[in-house]
């Protein structure tokens, strides 16, 4: 494989990754940074001694 072919393949992979990320952002409307906000377990009730 020639050096230019290797560089071309790497560039194509990077461009594909960038394109996929941009499509995900536009389709999903920007993902939430952290989805842990929506999962909050119930806290145990306080017992009086």
Q: pLDDT of 22-47, one tens digit each?
A: 888 877 765 556 666 677 777 788 87
Report the C-alpha gap between 19 and 7 in whole angstroms: 18
- pLDDT score, position 18: 92
Q: pLDDT of 7-19, one tens digit each?
A: 899 999 999 999 9
- pLDDT score, position 44: 80
Degrees (nearest 5) of the Cα angle 5, 19, 25? 160
Every domain of the chain and the residues it spans: 3-29
- pLDDT score, position 16: 94
Q: Is 30 left (phi over 0), alpha (psi -120 to 50) or beta?
A: left
């Amino acid at each position: 494989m020639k050096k230019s072919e290797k560089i071309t393949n790497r560039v194509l992979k990077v461009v594909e990754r960038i394109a996929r990320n941009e499509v995900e952002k536009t389709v999903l409307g920007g993902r939430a940074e952290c989805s842990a906000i929506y999962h909050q377990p119930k806290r145990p009730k306080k017992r009086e001694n």
